[in-house]
Amino acid sequence: MTFFPDPVSRQLELLRTNLPTVDPTVKANVEAVARALKAGTAEYVDPQKALFRVWSKPYGYTKANGIWERAKPDPDAIQLLFDEWQKDQADASAINVEFDEPSEYDMSLEFALDHWLPKREPILIAGMGSSGKSTLVATWCATVSPNYSTLWVSSEEQTAWVRKRHVQAGGIPGTIGTVPLTPTKRDPETGKVTATTFGIYEHLNDLILQTKANAIRPLGVVVLDAVAALVIWNKGEGANDDTSVKKLIGYLRSLAEQHAVCMVMIHHFNKGQAAAYDPSRVTGTTAWVNTPRLAFAATKDDASESGFDNFVFVIKTNLGTQFGASFTTYPVHTLAKYNDAPDTVLCAARVNGGIVWGHRDVKLMVNNGVDPDAETASARKKSFDNKIMHVVEAVRAGATTRDAIALAIAHTGCGGITTNQWQKVDGALPGRGVHVTKTAHNKYVYQVAPPNTEAAEPQNDGPYIHSRTQ
């Protein structure tokens, strides 16, 4: 049935009117519009071509022109475009304003797995390769299998391995669904899959519906591993683009709310040298960490003798206090056995000692009992004391101005002294036997204090000045 009974020329007129609503960066749209515009009578061809060139400019002139030349006139393409507009209008009309209900005031945060897997939320877990993040998530899914099923979409593992690991880790058979994917692009350095035939926007909702219909337990967890490789990014979009990632996580949040699931995004660390608990280690834009309400990092325990000990901990939360735990991975199934090399195995995870709560205790855990903040403060104090020592030596050697002192200590390797640091230096020098005197021209003179006299405080003609020039 034809939605518009008008002749082709009338349909073309409507097409021209609605053309600005069609995305010109999508190849399928460009092809459909070309076929539709060519469906008119001869007198319309040139004006339609001119219109097409203007509209398709974002796609690229050369590529769009090639599509136009190859396109065959197709009146049905006009109808297909109209059907899409009709669908969009229907979708838009389904959006309604909601008002509060008394029952909402009793709502509470629900978890598929307490603390770790909040329902109706997208969460992130990121880490380097071999940090145990996928193994840990798989164990979480096995743990909740008496109550919930899992949909696991992976660009990095064979689907049979995912299902086998689930069962061997204690998961109930029939409570995990997997999706076979075909890689289309890999990172040339790491070999990791960066794109597949699967698209989150295009396929995920349908797969969730399939899983809910066929799993033996209600769906509670959806795992996307690795999430960035499961998106068919439009031109100009990507994992490093803040807007693109916010849009993606917003979409995943809408699915999580609609289907009452925890949406687990597994992601990677970059190769930076920042501390493991530093959110900057997460690959791509900061939106990966900042947009979800809960984000974890997984990292290896460098002090582990076995090499199978790891940490997982919160790097961002809007849901409560920071926490973390130590866990160990252990084999549950042997895929390949070797006489001269370690076996290839599937692993599960075991938490060691329970959850650690609070920012400071998490840092102590990750650093094996060493407080990194205290270490940093100690290192800064040591560096400052070293600078003071060299300044005193320079003054005793005859340097009387800041410029002369800076020149004298330049070869010591203690680092320079900033304008702000000079205030602290001046405050410490009287206790080291050095007079600091401020001159009339806002300069400072440094002299060794006379023997057998108490070191004097810095001399001023008024209150000690905090902002100085040199």
> Given a cut of 60, is residue 26 above it in pLDDT?
yes
Q: What is the pLDDT of residue 465?
A: 31
- Determine, yes or no, domain membership for 309: yes
What confidence category does residue 367 fall into, taking pLDDT thresholds of 50, 70 and 90? confident
Under 8 Å between Cβ of 239 and 285? yes
Check residue 21 and give its pLDDT: 73
Q: Which of 366, 383, 403 is the last residue of a domain?
A: 366
pLDDT of 75 reads: 75
Is pLDDT above 50 for 470? no
Do the beta carbons of residue 470 and residue 422 sit within 8 Å? Answer: yes
CA dist., res. 21 & res. 243, Å (int): 20
Asked if 153 and 197 sit in the same domain, the reply is: yes
- Do 67 and 126 sit in the same domain of this protein? no
**Residue 373 above 80 pLDDT?**
no
Give the pLDDT of residue 455. Answer: 44
Same domain, 65 and 128: no
Q: What is the mean pLDDT of residues 119-130?
A: 94
Identify whether residues 194 and 328 lie together within a single domain: yes
Please check whether residue 99 lies inside any domain of the structure. Answer: no
Give 119's DSSP letter: T
- Of 335, 324, 329, nearest in space to 366 by CA: 324
Q: Based on the structure, what is the number of domains in the chain? A: 3
pLDDT of residue 421 exceeding 90, the answer is no
Are residues 189 and 335 both part of a single domain? yes
Of 167-176, 340-349, 450-459, where does mean pLDDT reach its minimum? 450-459
State which H helix or E strand residue 353 sits in.
strand 344-357
pLDDT bin (cut points 50, 70, 90) of residue 458 is: very low
Q: Could you tell me if 335 and 400 lie in one domain?
A: no
Under the banding of pLDDT at 50, 70 and 90, the label for residue 6 is very low
185 domain-assigned: yes
For the purposes of burial, counting CB atoms within 10 Å of the CB of 61, is it exposed (0-12), middle (13-18) or buried (19 or more)?
exposed
Token reading at 344: 């290839």
Number of Cβ within 10 Å of residue 31's Cβ equals: 17
pLDDT tens digits, one per residue of 376-409: 666 777 888 888 899 999 899 988 888 888 888 8
Rounded to two decimals, the pTM is 0.62
Q: What is the pLDDT of residues 87-102, one digit of tens each?
A: 655 555 556 777 777 6
The answer to whether residues 244 and 289 belong to one domain is yes
Total length of the chain: 470
Quickly list DSSP for 286-336: THHHHSSSEEEEEEE-TT-SSS-EEEEEEEEESSS--EEEEEEEEEEEEEE
Parent domain of 444: 372-448
Enumerate residues 6+ apart whose C-beta is below 8 A from 39: 8, 12, 73, 74, 75, 77, 78
Within this chain, do residues 168 and 252 fall inside the same structural domain, yes or no? yes
38, 152: one domain: no
Residue 402: inside a domain: yes
| Residues 322, 429 within the same domain | no
Give the pLDDT of residue 196: 79
For the domain that residue 412 is a member of, what is the CATH number? 1.10.10
Q: Does residue 33 contact residue 22 with C-beta atoms inside 8 Å? A: yes
Angle at alpha carbon of residue 175, lines to 173 and 177, rounded to 5°: 110
Higher pLDDT among residues 316 and 23, named by residue = 316
Per-residue DSSP letter, 362: H
Question: Residue holding tokens 């849901």?
Answer: 319
CA distance 346 to 332: 6
- Asked if residues 194 and 156 have their Cβ atoms less than 8 Å apart, the reply is no
**pLDDT above 50: residue 14:** yes
Burial class (CB in 10 A: 0-12, 13-18, 19+), 275: middle
Mean pLDDT of 170-190: 87
Residue where a domain stops, chosen among 332, 366, 400 = 366
What is the CATH classification number for the domain harbouring 220? 3.40.50.300
Same domain, 177 and 316: yes
Range in 29-33, 87-91, 217-221 the model is least confident about: 87-91
